[in-house]
Structure 1
Amino acid sequence: MPDKTEKISEDSVIAFLRDTPDFLKDNPQVCDFLHPPAKTEGKGLADFQSYMIKRLKADKEEVIESTREIVENARSNMNNQQRIHMGVLRVLEATSFDEFIQCITMDLATTLDVDISVLVIETNETDIPHVHQNGIRILPEGTINEWMNNKSILLQDNISGIEAIYGGGAALVRSQILLRVDISMDTPPAILAFGSRDPNMFHDGQATDQILFLARVIERCFRSWLSLPKQ
């Protein structure tokens, strides 16, 4: 059966491009299929080669920028991982329960490069079961569940610090991460809060696996120090 497909002639292509001068500008991907001549003969051809060169430079710059972002993200992730590892080691090195609490409420802020770290625990009694109040913020029963909304972690940017969490340091906090700490069935709900003056340090969408690992380590340390059963 004969091929009835009409072949497009060079003259037709030239005529089309002449009548549609913005075709390549509107469809730049077409340039990927073209092979401009090595020598320039006239202004029009020189302009076309100039366009191709600019296109190649733009593609190169895009690749360089993408590579730079990948490298910067990798360095940032490695830096964060190192800080988490240092935080875990510091928590494990505590030689007393009071030192352990100090690690959480003071040392971790420096290690993780945040401005303030706080352990917050709910209670409906005067005293907190199993836990000394020194270095710990106290909240009424039900507050944490209301804040966390059944989530194990919250990352928030461009906020005003909550005085109930950070006390006098609340005015400094512009972004925060709240980590639920499930110590034991015998202890009330608790969260670990990290606040930063940088409004963009914590934000929704960030990777959380490393900081969640730190929270799990802290839970186990609590149970070990207080001889509490697992969840």
Structure 2
Amino acid sequence: MTDVFEEPGSAPAAMDRAMLRQMLIENPDWVRGDTELLSHLAGAPEGVADLGRVVRDRLLGEVRQLKQREKAIAHAARENLALMARAQGFVLSLINCADMDELDYTLAWEAPAALGVDCVRLYLEGATPMIVSEAIHACAGGLTNELLGDDNDFTGLCPSRTARTLYGAEMGSHALCRLEIGGQTGLLALAAREPDIFHTGQGTEILNFVARAVEQRLSLWLTTD
């Protein structure tokens, strides 16, 4: 019988292979305990692609991406729910405003914290509802169309010139929403110093919800000729 251990690399005879196989079956720890040998036996032959490993690695990568996407969606959903809750609380505070002075104060000081922004302004075209105000201001006719065009709202970066005009200070991003109150056109403007708070393509459901509430409240005190 050929001694296979004396001739490395040589192919053992059938009987020798049978004996070696039986020895490994009876002593599997010989292989389990040798990580290099176990890795060699489990791997693909040299020069041959391990398609199973390639597919497995690809699937694992896709699973990781899906998990990250799921976490991002869940995080965004939680943020939206929290923002909606704050917006609803803010709208309730609007209902308690007895006059425009209180509405002006609410927009200037309560709205930013409730809506997670740095500044809130409301502009009414061709109207001067208040002599002294902090958030509610008159503006020239056509300002809303100049900023929004034919759109109802806008979210995105805030140019320096627009920021100085609307907010009196530099802002990174802002959200604008058209108002229609008793035949008068207005503009609700929310601004943040960070450039990524508002971005193109962002949902505007909460913005419009707040704008409609402001419209209804202002209609109590604004009259048309």
TM-score in terms of structure 2 length: 0.71
Task: Mark the CA change 1:220 to 1:53 in structure 2 (over 3 Å): closer, same or farther.
Answer: same
Q: CA deviation at 1:51?
A: 2.2
| Counterpart residue number, 2:88 | 85
Q: Give the AA of the match of 1:154.
A: F
| Residue identity opposite 1:145 in structure 2 | N
Q: Is the 8 A contact 2:182 2:222 kept in 1?
A: no
Contact 1:88 1:214 in 2 (8 A): yes
Cα offset, 1:43, TM superposition? 4.4
Letter in 2 for 1:175: S
Tell me, yes or no, if structure 1 residue 164 matches structure 2 residue 178. no
Distance 2:158 2:146 in 1: 20
Quote the RMSD (CA, aligned, Å): 2.5
Q: Which amino acid aligns with 1:214?
A: V
Unaligned runs of 5+ in 1: 1-38
In structure 2, give the amino acid aligned to 1:164.
Answer: T
Corresponding letter in the other structure for 2:94: V
Indicate which of 77, 89, 96 corresponds to 1:74: 77
Segments of 4+ moved more than 6 angstroms: none
Q: Answer yes or no: is the 8 Å Cα contact 1:159–1:199 preserved in 2.
A: no
Could you say which residue in structure 2 is the equivalent of 1:152?
A: 152
AA at the equivalent of 1:179: C
1:50 corresponds in structure 2 to: 53
Does residue 1:210 correspond to 2:203, yes or no? Answer: no
Identity of matched residues, %: 24
Q: Provide the rounded CA distance (Å) in 1 between the counterparts of 2:114 and 2:164.
A: 23
Equivalent AA in structure 2 for residue 57 of structure 1: L
CA distance in 1, matches of 2:44, 2:196: 54
Q: Does 1:140 align with 2:140?
A: yes
Q: 1:109 aligns with which of 105, 108, 112?
A: 112
Count of aligned residue pairs for this structure pair: 181
Q: Report the AA paired with residue 194 of structure 2.
A: D
Alpha-carbon shift at residue 157 of structure 1 (Å): 1.5
Inter-partner Cα distance in structure 2 for 1:139 and 1:227: 15
Question: Which of 63, 67, 70 is matched with 1:64 structurally?
Answer: 67
Output the CA distance in 2 between the equivalents of 1:41 and 1:144.
68
Indicate the larger mover: 136-145 or 58-67: 136-145
Distance 1:164 1:66, change over 3 A: closer
Map 1:92-103; keep pairs closer than 5 Å: 92-103=95-106
Structure-1-length-normalised TM-score = 0.69
Q: Displacement, 1:44?
A: 5.8
CA distance in 2, matches of 1:218, 1:138: 16
Cα distance change, pair 46–179 in 1 and its aligned pair in 2 (3 A): closer
Distance 2:149 2:180 in 1: 15
Match in the other structure for 1:122:
125
The CA distance in 1 between the partners of 2:222 and 2:122, in whole Å, is 19
CA distance in 2, matches of 1:92, 1:44: 75
> Aligned equivalents of 1:158 and 1:49: distance in 2?
51
For structure 2, the 5+ residue unaligned runs are 1-41
Q: d(CA) in 2 for partners of 1:222 and 1:41? A: 75
Distance 1:48 1:149 in 2: 56
Q: Is the 8 A contact 2:130 2:137 kept in 1?
A: no
Please tell me the residue identity of whatever aligns with 1:155. Answer: T
Q: Which amino acid aligns with 1:68?
A: K
CA gap 1:184/1:41 in 2 versus in 1, 3 angstroms: closer
* CA 1:70–1:142: 2 relative to 1, 3 Å: closer
Larger radius of gyration: 2
Alignment check: 8 A CA contact 1:114 1:194 kept = yes
